[in-house]
Structure 1
Amino acid sequence: MMPVPDPHPDVFDIEWPLRVADVDREGRLKFDAATRHIQDIGSDQLREMGFQETHPLWIVRRTMIDMIRPIEFQDILRLRRWCSGTSNRWCEMRVRIDGRKGGLVESEAFWININRETQGPSRISDDFLEGLRRTTDVDRLRWKAYLTAGSREDADEIRDYPIRVSDIDIFDHMNNSVYWSVIEDYLYHHPESVRYPLRVTIEHDAAVALGDKMEILSHVHPAGSTDQFGPELTDRTVTTLTYAVGDEAKAVAAIFSL
């Protein structure tokens, strides 16, 4: 991931405490909580830049989180957010989360600006783009999927994941952070997968709605069989989770140690 351009006047920099609801039973910052922090600092930066009224709605297409060193309970988080790539309707935003005790989480997310009326992608205003581009020279960002959904027929495991009314957000579909609750659930049941530094990526293809019967299809690809994920990963195990509603893949996640 792009290193933090620090010091830089256009890197949004803020601190807040790690709270009880953010951590698991061992006191580690959870992936779903980290995702909420990533969303929250985005809202704060939008407000700070003065574009909360003109660009209030965004959806995420991909989030990549590297948990380098776990951040622990009662720590203070320093969050820094900046743009690492732009186009006319979307951008990639980096967030680095540092704990004072040495914990570190890195992330990058692909965000799409949404029109309130049409609920479709909308052009980012020129003055907003001008501010975003102060931390990057990538101005022709294009979407390219990294992950492929797994099939039901050869899944190593299939688990139900009920959708609760509290999982649904302003877009009337399951909020981004809930997809990361699935990651926490999987890692709890498969502790052998937890080796830091750990990278988890989720790509979204379609929305999950209240009333959907969602299942998680897991596929474990052992070392030596993972060339499909890139030559640099052939020496390690890669686990994929497919978020399926019937025969439709709504999202795909990949988990592997760095």
Structure 2
Amino acid sequence: MADSSATNSGLSKTLMPVPDPHPDVFDVEWPLRMADVDRDARLRFDGAARHIQDVGQDQLRQLGYEDVHPAWIVRRTMIDLVKPIEGPEILRLRRWCSGTSNRWCEMRVRIDGRKGGLIESEAFWIHFSRETQGPSRISEDFLAGLRRTTEVDRLRWKAYLKAGSREDAEQVRRFPVRVTDIDLYDHMNNSVYWSVVEDYLETAPELLKEPLRVTIEHDSAVALTDDLEILLHTYPAASTDKFGAELADRTVRTLTYAVGGDVKAVAALFPL
């Protein structure tokens, strides 16, 4: 894969390769647990999302910034299932920065299994102030550390996805929000959005037979009392230039997370 400075942008972007060896790549190992695998022992997308969150928190703690920068909101997560990771397994997780700005950053996480399974990911994280309830500046010393693994220092937010409409949805399905889905920010945790993806993959298992990219963009939070619905749309090859010319040769499926007329998030799935 190309270096991040030469990476294309958009839904088909090439993810920055791991700068290994590099002293600023956070590198840890831990076991794959039973709660994160499906009936075939595959590490699920929601399980991978939890690992991505956990390794981020561990890195903050190791660097000594967990109290300085405790609050982060994910705006977009892109996960590539390159080769399924199947248990029992020991996971190696490497995390590093692939782009920065004063108030947000993109963080890469690569998850390797010892048996050859591989998941790549990149997440757009916004540093959040609980006092102002908005984006907040990242401290200069912490930002300097992030920049040691990337040349991208003027990262801008640009949405890759647009919601599908209720009127032409192939399917509209309710997704009950449970008490256990709600985190300390009083909204549905990021990993739960990925369980919606797993629900869909149960109906489309053929997508797991080849490398698959899934991207979720968040517009606003889902609360416990929300009546959440999932809208399914399928865009066949030759009709998918709306996602970028590079994807015009393949089918793209979208899942729109909606509460009434409000769009909360959008997911896109397509083969790599």
Following the alignment from structure 2 to structure 1, what is the Cα–Cα distance between the partners of residues 258 and 209? 26
User: Quick one: which of 28, 44, 53 aligns to 2:42?
Assistant: 28
Identify the residue that residue 166 of structure 2 maps to in structure 1.
152
SS in 1 for 2:95: strand
Following the alignment from structure 1 to structure 2, what is the Cα–Cα distance between the partners of residues 95 and 193? 22
Identify the residue that residue 157 of structure 2 maps to in structure 1.
143
SS in 1 for 2:209: coil
- 1:141 aligned partner, one-letter code: L
Q: Deviations over 1:144-197 (max 9, x none)?
A: 000000000000111100000110011100000000000000000222333320
SS in 2 for 1:147: coil
Following the alignment from structure 1 to structure 2, what is the Cα–Cα distance between the partners of residues 164 and 254? 24
User: Quick one: which of 56, 59, 63 aligns to 1:42?
Assistant: 56
Identify the residue that residue 137 of structure 2 maps to in structure 1.
123
Alignment of 1:157-196 (within 5 A): 157-196=171-210
8 A contact 1:84–1:92 mirrored in 2: yes
User: Quick one: which of 56, 72, 84 aligns to 1:58?
Assistant: 72
Instruction: Report whether the alignment pairs 1:248 with 2:265.
Output: no
Q: Deviations over 1:97-127 (max 9, x none)?
A: 0000000000000000111222211100000
Identify the residue that residue 235 of structure 1 maps to in structure 2.
249
Structure 1 gaps of 5+ residues are none
Following the alignment from structure 1 to structure 2, what is the Cα–Cα distance between the partners of residues 103 and 193? 16
- 2:107 aligned partner, one-letter code: M
8 A contact 1:195–1:257 mirrored in 2: no
1:235 offset after TM fit, Å? Answer: 1.1
- 1:31 aligned partner, one-letter code: F
8 A contact 1:82–1:94 mirrored in 2: yes
Instruction: Report whether the alignment pairs 1:208 with 2:212.
Output: no
Q: Deviations over 1:29-82 (max 9, x none)?
A: 000000000000000000111101110010100000000000001110000000
SS in 2 for 1:182: helix
Alignment TM-score, normalising by the size of structure 2: 0.94
RMSD: 0.7
Alignment TM-score, normalising by the size of structure 1: 0.99
Instruction: Report whether the alignment pairs 1:86 with 2:100.
Output: yes
- 1:210 aligned partner, one-letter code: L
Following the alignment from structure 1 to structure 2, what is the Cα–Cα distance between the partners of residues 247 and 121? 26
User: Quick one: which of 124, 132, 147 aligns to 1:110?
Assistant: 124
How many residue pairs align between the two structures?
A: 258
Instruction: Report whether the alignment pairs 1:223 with 2:234.
Output: no
